Structure formats: C-alpha cells, structure tokens
Structure 1
Amino acid sequence: MKALVAFILLVQLPIHKAVPAAPPAPLGCDDPESEAAAEVAVDYINSHSHHGYKFTLNTIDNIRVLPQGPNKEIIFLELDLLETTCHILSPTPLANCTVRSFTDHAVEGDCDVKLQKVNGQLSVLASKCHSHADSSEDILQLCPDCPLLITLNDTEVLATVTESLNVYNGKSTGAYLKLLEIGRAKMQYHPAHVVFVEFAVAATNCSAAEANVEACHLLPDDQSDFGFCTATKVIRPSQDLQVNCQLYGHQPGVTYSPPGQATSGLVPGVVQGFTNHNLRLSHNNPLASESFSSEFSASMLPAKSVARRAVAGVAQHDKVPRPVGFVPPPPCPGKIRHFKI
C-alpha cells in the first residue's frame, strides 16, 4: 500500500523539461570583440608586409566565429583597409600615421584574416589581401587638377628618383644613401607639370662626402638604418627640385626583404606597370578565407553573411528564452572610420 501511494505521488509530481541554453548571439561588426580581433589582424598585416606602406582599419565588412571547444574559437574577418603615409619601415606607431586623403589618390586594401582565440588570447593563422588605388575618374570629378598616381616604373619617375637621391647625397654630411624601393609616384599636368615621388632608402658603410659608390654596401641587419625620402620635381613652366630625406636610426629586429631581381628598386611584380605595392605580395594564403578553411569545410554549412545569420539566428531560436532586453547584433558591414572608396 505504501508503495502504491508513493508511486501515485511520484506520478503527480510536475515534469520539468530541460530548456536548451540559448546559443551565443553572433557578433556584430562593431562589437568590441570584433574590433579587438580586427586590431590584432591589422597589426599582423602591417608587421608581415614586406613592401609599401602601413594600412589602417576602415571598415569591418564581415565576421564569423566558429566554436572549437572549451575556450577556443576560430574567427574569420573580412576587412577594408586604407593606406597611410607611413612606410612599413617607419617606426611611427600606426595610431600616429596619417591616412591618405581621397584627393591624395587613396589606396584601399581588402583582406581576409583567419584568427584563433584560445583562453581569450588572439593570434593570426592566415591572411589574404589585395590592394588597389581608387580610380582616377573618381579623383578628377572632385579635384580636376589633383596629381594622380602613375606607374612606379614610369621613365620620369625613375629619372626623378635618381636625380633626387644624387642631389641629396651630394649635399649630405652623413651616410651615403642607397635606394631600397620606390613607394609612390604621382604626376600633375595642370597648371604645372610636376612629378611627386616617395622612396625608401638605407644607409651604407660609406659617408656621402667620400663615397666610392661601387664600394658602398648596406649596413648589416644589426646596424641597419632605414629611411624615407620625398621629392617634388617641377618640369614646367620652370625646372625645380625639392628633396627631403629622413633616416630613422637603427631599429632592432626591423629588416627589409630584398625584392630579388628588381629594377631600380622596384619589386618585380610592380615593374609591369602598377601604381601601388599590392598587399598580395606579402599576404596570399587562401586558408584565410572562410570558404577555403578546412575547419569550416569539414564542420559547417556554407557561409552566410553576418546580417543574414543574425536574422536567421533569431528566427531559428525564437522559442528559446532570451534575456530581457535582448537585441540582435547590428548587421555587417560595420561603421566607416574614414571614407568609402
């Protein structure tokens, strides 16, 4: 009898079904976690670039987070970057580097970056980038007389760089400088014909005053002293040349990767007539893209945009209890920090 009563009471107990825990909300492109990952990615891109200029973040286009177990995630980022005026050899912190203005003929970088986050620590696994200059038509619509980027191997550019370096070395009381690479070149035709060039240099073991050019060699890595020059050459109506060079001083751990069979300080891929150093030369790992990731291919469905995933996530889990005041993350892409090309 006691057993029967106990059974009846047990049957009458309320049955509580386990409520599944709410899955983590997808990140929005302007969330602090997304911006932290983007900062690590941009630092990696700049520190692993071998030519050209430092880039800064303009927009986070997309973010995808793939849980990999306790305290571990894989993060895929799609970033829009903008070129700054700081060469990669410059010791100037990125935060102090000026973003090239639209009328300075801006260069945009598009990057896919794969990161991992383990116990809260972010690190980059792969990067893939491409950079390109804004169209000349866009610049001329806003500023008809602005100088425009021209190919780095243009004959007037090469002549201006050679003349500028010779003039500077001829007046210098310091080390004899050699050309590393031409970083940028612009031409203006109206109201005057002017060539603008920027180029990276390095000190040699010779003094400029006593240089035997054939015997001058770049300093070894543990003594290296890199620098940067800008020059403006007016060709018409009257000729004039202004040159300014700055040596940075030795920076431990900072090295320059020689471009191999280069012509006049140009990376081989640039000699073919390009107007800017392409980030692809330093960042071209297909695993950086979500669609090429082995982890993604093996364990996930085809990628969706963050905006679609956010909406789909809310729809799929609308029966799952959400915290009071829950708001889905904003869609991607995120905010534009400078200007859109």
Structure 2
Amino acid sequence: MRAVGIAVFLGLLAGAWSQVASPVLRPDCDALEVEEAALVAQDYMNSQLTHGYKYALNQIDEVKTIPRPDGGENYVVEMDLLETKCHVLDPTPVANCTVRPRQETKVEADCDVVLSKVGGVLSVVAYKCKSEPESAEDVCLGCPQLVPLNDTSALQLVDASLGRFNRVLDNDTARFALLEVDRLATKPLAGTPQYLAEYAIIETNCTNDDDDNCVPLASPVARKGFCVAAGTPAFTAAVDCALFTNEVAPVDPTLNGTGPVAPPVVPKLQTTHGLKHHHRLSSVNVPAATGLLSESEESQEVVPVVKRQAPMDTLLELPVVPAVPLPPAAAPVLQLCPGRKRHF
C-alpha cells in the first residue's frame, strides 16, 4: 500500500509540474495572432471545398494555445463562418466576397480547428465543421425561401436559363453544360411564384451549331462559370453568367513563387450535395488530433489534467517527502471571448 501511495503522490507531483510547465494559455479572441490563425484556417478549409460556396470568418468564439515539444505551439480555435456569394470555383479572394445576407437565408458554419505554429508558420492539423441554413422562422416574410435541389419547377428555370445563355448571351463559340446546382429558392411575385437559381457550368466540346451530344471538357482545360437566374419555368426573366479563369496550382510561399506545390495532405472538408438539402459542412477528424478537437458545441479541456486524488486514508500512509517548490503560477488573466462579429 505504501508503494502505491508513493506512486500516486509522485504522479500527482509530475502532473502538477507538467501543468505548470505546459499551461493551456487562453489569449484574447481578437488578438492579432489569433485572427491570423483563424484566417489561415478559413482559407485552408475553403481550398478544400469542391462544391458550393466559400465561407468567410464571422467570429472567433474560443481559443487555446498549447506548447509543443518542438518549441512551437498548437492553436485550438472555435470559430463561426458565414457563407458568401462566391462559388468555390470563383478565384475572387474571400476578403472581396459578399457575405450572403440574412434575407437570402444565410448559412452559418461552426468549426473547431487545430493549427500548429512552428518557426512562425501556421498549418492546419485537423478540423471539423457543421453548418445549417438559418431556420425558416428566422427568415423575413416575403424573402426568398429555399426549395429542395430537386424541385421540378426550379430545375426547369435552370435548364431554360442555361439554354438562353448558350443561344443568346454567350459571345464566343463555346457551349456550356450544367456542372452542379448550388441554390434554389422561390419568392411570391404578383401571385405567381418566381424562382431563383444559382448553378455552376462547364465548357463542353460543342459549339452553338452542334447538336445536343456534348461532352464536358476535362479539367483544367475546360472553362467553368457560375450563373444566377430568375424567372418562372415558362419565362426566364434574367440570367447572368460569369466565366472563371482556369485553375492554377497553388504556390508554396517559401519558394518565392518559383514553382507550384501540392497542398498539404489533410482530409477534405466534406460537403453534402443532396437532392433535399443545400451544401452543409460536415465533420472531419484526424485520429492523431482527435483529443484536440472538442466533441460537442461546448469547449472541453484538451490537455492532460491532474488525475483525481487517492482516498484520504491512502494519502495518510505516505511517508514524509521533502517539499518540492513549484514555479510560481502566472496570475490569471481574463480572456476576452467571444470576439467581435465581422458581419452579423
């Protein structure tokens, strides 16, 4: 029993030392280094998306920094992002993208992200996200209401508006096909439902004089674009399509722009492109970093803590051990979190 008691005591002592030596720090959510980490996470997660829209940082909810054995540190960041109106194919930087307004049914993503900072360089280690459109009760009366992505009437507008773009509005000889439908909505107008559609298009091997047996060109040769249309199934009131430049391989900033480099291998942020739901960010976990990602909406401690003490009668049997002075603990600092909202 005495040996067990000594082991428990030494374990407690070692645990206390480890906590003092490697504390969990909680910087302010609006600190410059925290915002830098959040923006790195934002840009990386957007780079992993293959469908839907880019997301912009709205608010940093919580942040912890944990020292690393290599002298760097890990950032554990809880953050909220808002869907923008820039499609993932759009090369426009997120900072220049318009956040989708509430009246168009905003989509918010809640993300937990782990980043490492070694040698001053921030890298995403793991992340998980979930997103949902705002509930119907929060959407204003008379505003566009989302409809399923397989809504027959809305898809008729998609087909008609793309046909109009190919026949009338396209100034070159290429013919474009539907790549994906990203958002469909309806809005009452003079008693007749008006539909709104947003969809991506891809260049085919056809010209406008060819028949309908068109095949999309392979990437990165094929040009892609994004269309916004409004009208009824029988009449396309407006359609506006923007064509994007071909994809460019990412460049490693450490090479000073001298050549392309593949992005780091981290599981992609999955999206659901279903028939009944619009794009939603879903959970992604890296097994090695699971302990650093909170398992719920509430933040949890992500570093080891001192195990619960042994029963008092066991502690009383411990031999007298000379007191070992611990380094003085830093005075507690009040963390200012959550941070400011950048949009709404």
State the TM-score, normalizing by the size of structure 1. Answer: 0.73
Deviation at 1:163, TM superposition (A): 1.4
Contact 2:53 2:85 (C-alpha < 8 Å) held by counterparts: yes
Change (3 A) 1:66 1:193: same
* Residues 1:212 and 2:211 are matched in the alignment: yes
Instruction: Give the fraction of aligned pairs with identical amino acids, expressed as a percent.
Output: 37
Q: Which structure 2 residues correspond to residues 161-180 of structure 1 after superposition, within 5 A?
A: 161-171=158-168, 172=170, 173-180=172-179
SS at match of 1:270: coil
2:52 alignment partner AA: G
Counterpart in 2 of 1:300?
304
Contact 1:112 1:128 (C-alpha < 8 Å) held by counterparts: yes
Deviation at 1:205, TM superposition (A): 2.1
Counterpart in 1 of 2:186?
187
1:60 alignment partner AA: I
Change (3 A) 1:66 1:24: closer
Q: Distance in 2 between matches of 1:198 and 1:298?
A: 41
1:118 alignment partner AA: V
1:170 alignment partner AA: R
* Residues 1:270 and 2:273 are matched in the alignment: yes
Contact 1:40 1:122 (C-alpha < 8 Å) held by counterparts: yes
Contact 1:22 1:320 (C-alpha < 8 Å) held by counterparts: no
Contact 1:225 1:249 (C-alpha < 8 Å) held by counterparts: yes
Contact 2:26 2:335 (C-alpha < 8 Å) held by counterparts: no
Deviation at 1:40, TM superposition (A): 0.4
Q: Distance in 2 between matches of 1:75 and 1:268?
A: 25
2:241 alignment partner AA: C
Counterpart in 1 of 2:239?
243
Counterpart in 1 of 2:154?
157
Contact 1:148 1:186 (C-alpha < 8 Å) held by counterparts: yes
SS at match of 1:37: helix
Deviation at 1:63, TM superposition (A): 1.1
Contact 1:107 1:131 (C-alpha < 8 Å) held by counterparts: yes
Q: Which structure 2 residues correspond to residues 75-94 of structure 1 after superposition, within 5 A?
A: 75-94=75-94
1:57 alignment partner AA: L
RMSD: 3.0
Q: Distance in 2 between matches of 1:205 and 1:66?
A: 53
Counterpart in 1 of 2:201?
201
1:300 alignment partner AA: P
Q: Distance in 1 between matches of 2:215 and 2:64?
A: 48
Q: Aligned match of 1:230 in 218, 228, 233?
A: 228
Change (3 A) 1:298 1:168: closer
Contact 1:22 1:321 (C-alpha < 8 Å) held by counterparts: no
Deviation at 1:278, TM superposition (A): 1.1
Q: Distance in 1 between matches of 2:75 and 2:215?
A: 44
Query: Mind listing any 5+ residue stretches in structure 1 that lack a counterpart?
Result: 1-19, 255-266, 303-316
Change (3 A) 1:272 1:248: closer
Whose helix proportion is higher, 1 or 2?
1
Which deviates further from its counterpart, 39-48 or 182-191?
Answer: 182-191
2:343 alignment partner AA: H
Deviation at 1:116, TM superposition (A): 0.8
The alignment of Structure 1 onto Structure 2 pairs a total of residues equal to 277
Describe the superposition over 1:191-211 as per-residue Cα deviations: whole angstroms up to 9, x where unpaired.
Answer: 44210000011111222x222
Deviation at 1:290, TM superposition (A): 2.2
Query: Mind listing any 5+ residue stretches in structure 2 that lack a counterpart?
Result: 1-19, 251-269, 307-325
Counterpart in 2 of 1:258?
none
Deviation at 1:251, TM superposition (A): 2.6
Contact 2:72 2:118 (C-alpha < 8 Å) held by counterparts: yes
Counterpart in 2 of 1:109?
109
Deviation at 1:272, TM superposition (A): 4.1
Q: Distance in 2 between matches of 1:48 and 1:241?
A: 34
Q: Distance in 2 between matches of 1:86 and 1:189?
A: 25
Counterpart in 1 of 2:343?
338
Q: Distance in 2 between matches of 1:248 and 1:25?
A: 43
Q: Which structure 2 residues correspond to residues 93-104 of structure 1 after superposition, within 5 A?
A: 93-104=93-104
Change (3 A) 1:268 1:71: closer
Q: Which structure 2 residues correspond to residues 4-43 of structure 1 after superposition, within 5 A?
A: 26-43=26-43
Counterpart in 1 of 2:321?
none
Which deviates further from its counterpart, 63-72 or 149-158?
Answer: 63-72
Deviation at 1:240, TM superposition (A): 4.5
Deviation at 1:46, TM superposition (A): 0.3
Change (3 A) 1:270 1:24: closer
